[in-house]
Amino acid sequence: MSSDEPLRRDGAFVRGLIADMKEMTWDRIGEHAIANAKRNLVFKDDGKSIAALRNSSMGEGDSAVIVAAGPSVRRQNPAQLLREHNYRGLVMATDSGIAHCLRNGIVPHLVVSLDPHPTRIVRWFGDPKLREQDLEGDDYYRRQDLDPIFADEVRANHEIIALMRQHAPQMSLALSTSTSLQVVERALDAGIRIYWWNPMLDDPDEPGSRTRALMDMNGFPALNAGGNVGSASWMIADAVMGKRRVALTGMDFGYYDGTPLTATQYYWEAVDLVGEDRVAEVFSRIYNPHMGAWFVSDPAYQWYRECFLEMVAQGDCQTYNCTEGGILFGPNVIFCPLKDFLAQAG
Amino acid sequence: MKDMLKGNFTPKYQVSVDTDKKETLEEQFERTAKARLGGSIAYVSKKRVAWTDDDKKKS
């Protein structure tokens, strides 16, 4: 075990899953992402390339705050802190972070979306086509330890649609070509400005690269997204927007200790893999020394953590994790409260 | 052992045995179940942004 490895309690099974996560992710999204990118070609001229945001003046100064939607958000309320501090720097939100920002009076400058899932992701933008019967077969939102508004999905959907109607035209969207038709149509309908990018699916410098084929097809650059939308947001802040101090909020990559496993993102998928009686084996308990507390995490989140720490090591910015919870700590990540970051970033 | 497995007749046609490993139903199920636990998008080690040639000219 390296000294960077956190104190953890789990078994060989979960470590095997983390090791397989690259292949598991490809099996989950690979062909889907490519098919979506091909289909989204018809919307190419409805937006610009993300290259137009290079070293953009969006947000004052050299700092950025990313708002994601991990379980810490309901406890820490980062959007409220941003408003109280009258933060003028770049505010970015993951698609899942839109509701928290808008409901707390913060209109993010830039939203990021990438997951190719055909039905779930559009809900973060408010889905005008959502029907009550659509909810019966999918408890993804109401089951999880998210913002409590998602417990009443229909009401939450109405509220997000209303907020988007009011604020979407003030927002920009860094949209991966891998996203579903529903997300693209919703973004266009809402009047949000689109900046396209391709997800890096393999090494674009290798012969036969599928990423390079996407770039040649649509003329957009490819970004290494780190496996998830929060990490992709960090990459955009650092490598596209040129921000030099980047704070993360709501990027827990885990759950508070004691959270029922049923309230975790991949619970039913884990049950399908090992059965209900062994489902605990798919999860780890990890000690966060900055918080002096244990957190629960699944293999995907732990893979995100590993990828992110590797990305940060090659980044140009200083990275501050202001989540105040979760498992994202390690070399090159300054773990501090958001109010401390805001005091120095202005 | 080899003597015991000689057989007691000569087959009419040459029987070929496919030695390539085929995924069993159980393995197939496991792979599908695992895929549902995968991440939202890929990660490519040690890469950041691949700009297009046009982007490079403009920068």
What separation, in Å, do the N-terminal and C-terminal C-alpha atoms of chain A show?
39
Residue A332 lies in a domain: yes
pLDDT of residue A301: 94
Strands A293-297 and A284-288: antiparallel
- A29 contact B CB<8A: yes
Of B36, B39, B47, the CB nearest to A224: B47
- A53 contact B CB<8A: no
Q: Give yes or no for a contact between A100 and A119, defined as CB atoms under 8 angstroms apart.
A: no
> Chain A residue closest to B49 (CA)?
A223
- A298 contact B CB<8A: yes
From B35's Cα to the closest Cα of chain A, the distance in A is: 4
Cα(A91)–Cα(A65) distance, rounded to whole angstroms?
5
Residue A199 lies in a domain: yes
pLDDT of residue A138: 75
Of A203, A228, A282, the CB nearest to B47: A203
**DSSP-assigned letters across all residues of A280-323:** GGG-EEEEETTTTEEEEE-HHHHHHHHHHHHHHHT-SSEEEE--
Residue A2 lies in a domain: no
Cα(A98)–Cα(A338) distance, rounded to whole angstroms?
18
Q: How many domains does chain A have?
A: 1
Of A22, A221, A269, the CB nearest to B36: A269
From B56's Cα to the closest Cα of chain A, the distance in A is: 10
Residue pLDDT, tens place only, A106-145: 999 999 999 999 888 999 999 999 988 877 777 777 666 6
Alpha helices per DSSP H over A96-139: 98-103, 132-136
- A111 contact B CB<8A: no
ipTM of predicted assembly, 2 dp? 0.91
Residue pLDDT, tens place only, A247-301: 999 999 999 999 999 988 888 888 988 899 999 999 999 999 999 999 999 999 9
From A83's Cα to the closest Cα of chain B, the distance in A is: 30
Residue A1 lies in a domain: no
Chain-chain contact of B38 with A27 (C-beta, under 8 angstroms): yes
Q: Which residue's structure tokens are 């040649």?
A: A216
CA distances from A154 to A127, A129, A151, A233, B33 (A): 10, 11, 9, 28, 30
pLDDT of residue B19: 58
- B56 contact A CB<8A: no
Angle between helices A299-313 and A12-19 (to 10 degrees): 50
From B25's Cα to the closest Cα of chain A, the distance in A is: 14
Containing structural domain, residue A60: 8-345
Cα(A114)–Cα(A184) distance, rounded to whole angstroms?
11
Residue A3 lies in a domain: no
Closest CA to B38 of A113, A33, A21: A21
CB < 8 Å to B37, chain A: 17, 24, 28, 266, 269-270, 273, 282, 298-300
Cα(A173)–Cα(A195) distance, rounded to whole angstroms?
6
Closest CA to B36 of A16, A115, A269: A269
Residue A273 lies in a domain: yes
Chain-chain contact of B46 with A314 (C-beta, under 8 angstroms): yes
Per-residue pLDDT of chain A (346 residues; tens, 9 = 90+): 444 678 888 878 888 999 999 999 999 999 999 999 999 999 999 999 999 999 788 999 999 999 999 999 999 999 999 999 999 999 999 999 999 999 999 999 999 999 999 888 999 999 999 988 877 777 777 666 667 777 788 899 999 999 999 999 999 999 999 999 999 999 999 999 999 999 999 999 999 999 999 999 999 999 999 999 999 999 999 999 999 999 999 999 999 999 999 988 888 888 988 899 999 999 999 999 999 999 999 999 999 999 999 999 999 999 999 999 999 999 999 999 999 999 999 6
Which residue did the predictor score with more confidence, A342 or B58?
A: A342
Residue A143 lies in a domain: yes
Of A24, A212, A226, the CB nearest to B34: A24
Residue A207 lies in a domain: yes
Residue pLDDT, tens place only, B2-53: 556 667 777 777 777 665 667 787 778 788 888 888 899 999 998 999 999 9
CB < 8 Å to B44, chain A: 200-203, 211, 224
Cα(A96)–Cα(A22) distance, rounded to whole angstroms?
23
Which of A22, A117, A198 should we substitute to test contact with B (largest number of B Cβ atoms within 10 Å)? Answer: A22
From B19's Cα to the closest Cα of chain A, the distance in A is: 24
Size (chain B), residues: 59
How many other CB atoms sit within 10 Å of the CB of residue B39? Answer: 25
